[in-house]
Amino acid sequence: MEKLQNFINGKYCDPIEGKYIDNYEPASGQVYSSIPDSGAQDVTLAVAAAEKAFPIWSKMSVQDRSGVLIRLSEGIAERMDEFVAAESKDNGKPLALAGHVDIPRAVSNFHFFATAILHYASESHNMEGVGVNYTLRKPLGIVGCISPWNLPLYLFSWKIAPALAAGNCVIAKPSEVTPYTAYLLGKVAKDAGMPDGVLNILHGQGGNVGDAIVKHPKIKAISFTGGTSTGEYIARTAAPMFKKLSLELGGKNPNIIYADCDFKEMMSTTLRSSFANQGQICLCGSRIFIERSIYDTFKEEFVRRVEATVVGHPNNSESKLGAIVSKQHMEKVLSYVELAKKEGGTVLTGGERAIVEGYEEGYYMRPTVIEGLPFDCRTNQEEIFGPVVTITPFDSEEEVLMMANSTQYGLSATLWTSDLKRAHRMADQLHAGIVWVNAWLVRDLRTPFGGVKASGVGREGGWEALRFFTEPKNVFIKY
Ligand code: NAD
């Protein structure tokens, strides 16, 4: 069985304490590799390497740094098939999704920030007759990047790319549930000519190696994407050390559908926004609100289309849904279906495991639609993060805004209407960092990405990310 290794100081190495944990393939439910169960000593080693590398990397000309990142981006593109297969096997997502979305996006993340940094300039503020201010944007030093399992390399690279582009050295930790593509990245970085110690990739559990990264005094900033309770713990731990924090956390996003929308387009996009990646995308619209006049029509068509959705092995090109990421997560999602029933909900379709022939131990689940729940019950308030949506009718704009804004979360919202005035009015009033009107998950890497309330602190993307990974220093010169 393959043993994965950490990548420290430009070399693959075993964890110092020699401990490993099992890595499962969700599609078959079988262990297929083991990964380092790293700890504080591995972090110390990586920080020492990063400290040595920082003067080299941060003083390298921005063109050269950009060149390394472009080559890194190209390196992933050249090994596309290998990365796609690894991501699908590790996560359970359909191969087609990894091939169309995850890995191409990781390529774009590196390419985007490699070129963005070429245009990232210091500002100057002239004081007529008095003097001039110029503001340098300096790299922070060593930064920690911690990412989740749902979009493994996509989100890992979304943090690492701006951190590196801005001149920082990175200690990065992918999720222990989906470590494989991050493991492959070490070699690609080396081949791209990245100096040793600039990018260090450590594997293991959040409570061990993740915690050690957050607590290490020489790590100046933590960029974290994951669950809200983990984010809260990280914020509490890092705050007394005055670390810079970017937290991208959970969501419980509303999908609001008006009768005047383009029904056909809304329906096919709503199928995706409900169940893409087995509903395990922080941006999925898990609470669907439908204007009462089209509620029954929507329900009939939606349930029919959901029932026709193929759940199957990720390598099967027919599969629209693959496997849930882990047994533990599948059990959590199924327990929410039981909760929904206790709360008075009716399961219109799904609500149970799907058995895929030949892979009976795999973690498959039927996409699930539930109706009849009050907006403020636990099923409608807590993040389930699986292929489960609720449908609820509404009568007025005021009512739907109240229900949409009623959760502790505020990541994204989708609105379907052809009334332009309503679109502007509601976009303004929705508690969300991102609002899509007549669309879902259309991403421009230049725009700010992140949430409000318990969905996070700070923004990623474009200049926002480069600002996060740099410290402004203002210099005033008297005329
Ligand atoms: P998680 O919080 O369990 O883990 C995320 C990462 O943090 C993993 O690498 C984990 O090992 C690490 N970690 C766990 N405990 C830690 C600790 N005490 N100290 C340091 N690191 C620790 O989340 P998950 O289950 O991997 O991911 C699912 C969650 O991520 C969902 O809530 C989802 O909404 C959220 N998410 C948010 C976004 C966003 O952009 N807002 C994107 C994707 C996923």
Q: What are the φ/ψ torsions at residue 264 (nearest 5 degrees)? A: -65, -45
The region, left, alpha or beta by phi > 0 then psi within -120 to 50, assigned to residue 69 is alpha
Helix, coil or strand: residue 297:
helix
Which of 145, 225, 434 is the pocket-test mutation for ligand 1 (most atoms within 8 Å of CB)?
Answer: 225
Q: Ligand 1, residue 451: give the atom nearest the CA.
A: 41
- pLDDT for position 223: 98
What pLDDT sits at residue 477? 98
> Angle at CA 336, nearest 5°, toward 223 and 389?
80
Label the pairing between strands 368-371 and 388-394: parallel
User: Counting atoms of ligand 1 from 1, which one is nearest the CA of 460?
Assistant: 40
Ligand 1 centroid distance, CA of 229 (Å):
9
434-437 and 412-416 beta bridge pairing: parallel
Torsion of CA 249, 250, 252, 257, to 10 degrees: 50
Burial of 127: CB neighbours in 10 Å, binned 0-12, 13-18, 19+: exposed
Q: Rounded CA gap, 56 and 136, in Å?
A: 19
Residue 399: other Cβ atoms inside 10 A: 13
Pocket test for ligand 1, best of 175, 229, 447 (most atoms within 8 A of CB): 175
Hey, which of 181, 214, 282 would you mutate to test ligand 1's pocket, going by the most ligand atoms within 8 Å of its Cβ? Answer: 282
Look up tokens 């959705």; give the residue.
309
Ligand 1 centroid distance, CA of 249 (Å): 7
Q: Which amino acid is at 63?
A: Q
Inter-CA distances, 336 with 342, 370, 379, 385, 389, Å? 10, 11, 7, 10, 11
Residue 444 burial class via C-beta count within 10 angstroms: exposed 0-12, middle 13-18, buried 19 and up: exposed
For residue 227, what pLDDT is reported?
A: 98
- Ligand 1 is surrounded, with C-beta below 6 A, by 146-150, 155, 173, 175-176, 205-207, 210-211, 214, 225-227, 230, 233-234, 248-251, 282, 383, 385, 411, 451, 455-456
Rounded to whole angstroms, how far apart are CA atoms 386 and 326? 11
Ligand 1, atom 11, lies closest to the CA of 206
Point out the ligand 1 atom lying closest to the alpha carbon of residue 213: 20
Render pLDDT for 162-218 as a digit per residue (tens, 0 to 9): 999 999 999 999 999 999 999 999 999 999 999 999 999 999 999 999 999 999 999
Q: Indicate the DSSP class of residue 449.
A: B
* C-alpha to C-alpha distance for 143 and 214, rounded to whole angstroms: 10
- Three-state DSSP class for residue 474: strand
17: annotated active-site residue: no
pTM score above 0.95: yes
Helix (H) or strand (E) holding 305: helix 295-307
Identify which of 174, 162, 70, 68 has the alpha carbon closest to the alpha carbon of residue 117: 162
What pLDDT sits at residue 179? 98
Q: SS3 of 4, please?
A: coil
For residues 181 and 153, is the Cβ–Cβ distance under 8 A? yes
| Spatial distance between the Cα atoms of 120 and 419, rounded to a whole number of angstroms | 38
Choice from 93, 101, 150, 328 to test ligand 1 binding pocket (greatest atom count within 8 A of CB): 150
What's the N-to-C CA distance of the chain in angstroms? 69
How far is the CA of 96 from the CAs of 81, 155, 439, in angstroms?
A: 11, 18, 21
Query: 332 CA to middle of ligand 1, Å?
Result: 15
Let me know if 282 is a catalytic residue. yes
Atom of ligand 1 nearest to the CA of 146: 9
Long-range interactions of 441-448: CB distance < 8 A, separation 24+: 441/272, 441/273, 441/276, 441/281, 441/283, 445/108, 445/109, 445/112
pLDDT, residue 361, reads: 97
Give residue 282 CA to ligand 1 midpoint distance, Å: 11
Buried b (16+ CB within 10 A) or exposed e, 283-319: bbbbbbbbbeebbeebbeebbeebeebebbbbebeeb
pLDDT of residue 90: 98
Residue nearest to atom 30 of ligand 1 (CA): 226
8 Å CB contact between 165 and 69: yes
Name the β-bridge partners of 224.
Answer: 146, 247
Active-site entry in 169, 261, 282, 284: 282
Question: pLDDT tens-digit profile of 40-62?
Answer: 999 999 999 999 999 999 999 99
170 close to 161: Cβ distance less than 8 angstroms? no
Which pLDDT score is estimated for 412? 98
Report mean pLDDT in 10-residue bins for the chain, 479 residues. 97 98 98 98 98 98 98 98 98 98 98 98 95 98 98 98 98 98 98 98 98 98 98 98 98 98 98 98 98 98 98 98 98 98 98 97 98 98 98 98 98 98 98 98 98 98 98 98
Residues, the chain, total? 479
Q: Token pair for residue 83?
A: 């990365």
Position 96 scores a pLDDT of 98
- What is the whole-number distance in angstroms between the Cα of residue 148 and the centre of ligand 1? 4
Considering 176, 248, 291, 464, which one is annotated as catalytic? 248
